[in-house]
């Protein structure tokens, strides 16, 4: 018999080795899920796994580059062998660099779209079949408030994150009768290594981030655990009648 928070569920979190992804892994482990921590940074993955196991949770590091369909397939196969089929997929891996659109080139567009949009296509394609077969699944995609309202110097990233929202709504419709929900969480500016990297890599970075924080009604950037709790809700047993939704966790930056 299943309990409201079934400990048997297996979660895969991409980008689980850092920032928001790490906090999502920790939140899901606290909810009794077995967590596959997928990333390209071995040190970051090991740290997330260590934090979860130290708190008596179950976690497995799974090296996985989401820009490679082969790496995704072999990573998912490894999770299947070690923990069981993936019931909960969280697409959190992401990347960007602040740049005016006219300074970007085709290689940059490819990289941004490959990581932020196509990565989620690859993992979703690999993980949905067993969810459909079991009649239960949760997909939670991490987009961004940049997708909802635009964000200066993040034109391609905003477009890729917008694609994540449109894709999620369509998947929510396709999966609606199969017991699989698909939802989106949009962080606003959140204190993570990605945000630090964006600030450090750009001449105008500090200015832009400060302007972002000023634009937030709560006048501060978010903390990764504040995003993770929204993901944990969408991943819960109780959220079974909620699908196709986009929830901003951004101190009121986006209201709709």
Ligand X SMILES: NC(=O)c1ccc[n+]([C@@H]2O[C@H](COP(=O)([O-])OP(=O)(O)OC[C@H]3O[C@@H](n4cnc5c(N)ncnc54)[C@H](O)[C@@H]3O)[C@@H](O)[C@H]2O)c1
Structure tokens that stand for 156 in this block: 């391609």
User: Is 187 a binder of ligand X (CB under 6 A)?
Assistant: yes
Helix (H/G/I), strand (E/B), else coil: 244:
coil
> Could you say which of 17, 61, 92, 157 is catalytic?
157
User: Is 75 a binder of ligand X (CB under 6 A)?
Assistant: no
User: Is 108 a binder of ligand X (CB under 6 A)?
Assistant: no
Report the nearest approach of ligand X to the CB of residue 41 (Å): 4
Report the nearest approach of ligand X to the CB of residue 2 (Å): 30
Helix (H/G/I), strand (E/B), else coil: 212:
helix
Task: Identify whether the C-beta of residue 36 lies closer than 8 Å to the C-beta of residue 13.
Answer: yes
Q: How far, rounded to the nearest angstrom, does the alpha carbon of residue 159 sit from its chain's CA centroid?
A: 16
Considering only the stretches 40-48, 99-107, 129-137, 232-240, report the one whose residues sit in contact with ligand X under the rule CB under 6 A. Answer: 40-48
User: Is 115 a binder of ligand X (CB under 6 A)?
Assistant: yes
User: Is 65 a binder of ligand X (CB under 6 A)?
Assistant: yes
Give how far Cα 22 sits from Cα of 16, 45, 223, Å: 5, 8, 12
Task: Identify whether the C-beta of residue 14 lies closer than 8 Å to the C-beta of residue 92.
Answer: yes
The catalytic site residues sit at 157
Please give the residue ranges that form the binding site for ligand X (CB under 6 A).
Answer: 14-15, 17-21, 39-41, 44, 64-67, 92-95, 115, 119, 142, 144, 187, 189-190, 192-195
């Amino acid at each position: 018999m299943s309990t409201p928070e079934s400990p048997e569920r297996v979660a895969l979190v991409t980008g689980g080795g850092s920032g928001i992804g790490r906090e999502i892994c920790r939140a899901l482990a606290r909810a009794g899920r077995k967590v596959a921590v997928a990333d390209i940074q071995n040190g970051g993955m090991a740290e997330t796994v260590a934090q979860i196991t130290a708190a008596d949770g179950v976690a497995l590091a799974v090296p996985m580059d989401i820009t490679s369909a082969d790496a995704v397939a072999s990573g998912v196969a490894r999770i299947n062998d070690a923990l069981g089929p993936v019931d909960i997929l969280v697409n959190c891996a992401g990347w960007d660099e602040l740049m005016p659109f006219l300074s970007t080139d085709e290689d940059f567009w490819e990289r941004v779209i490959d990581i932020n949009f196509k990565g989620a296509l690859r993992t979703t394609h690999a993980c949905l079949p067993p969810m459909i077969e079991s009649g239960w699944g949760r997909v939670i995609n991490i987009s961004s408030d940049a997708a909802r309202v635009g964000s200066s110097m993040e034109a391609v990233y905003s477009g890729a994150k917008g694609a994540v929202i449109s894709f999620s709504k369509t998947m929510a419709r396709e999966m609606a009768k199969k017991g699989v929900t698909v939802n989106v969480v949009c962080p606003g500016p959140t204190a993570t290594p990605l945000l630090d990297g964006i600030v450090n890599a750009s001449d105008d970075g500090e200015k832009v981030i400060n302007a972002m924080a000023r634009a937030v009604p709560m006048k501060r950037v978010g903390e990764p655990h504040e995003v993770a709790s929204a993901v944990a809700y969408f991943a819960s047993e109780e959220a079974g009648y909620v699908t196709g939704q986009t929830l901003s966790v951004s101190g009121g930056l986006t209201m709709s």
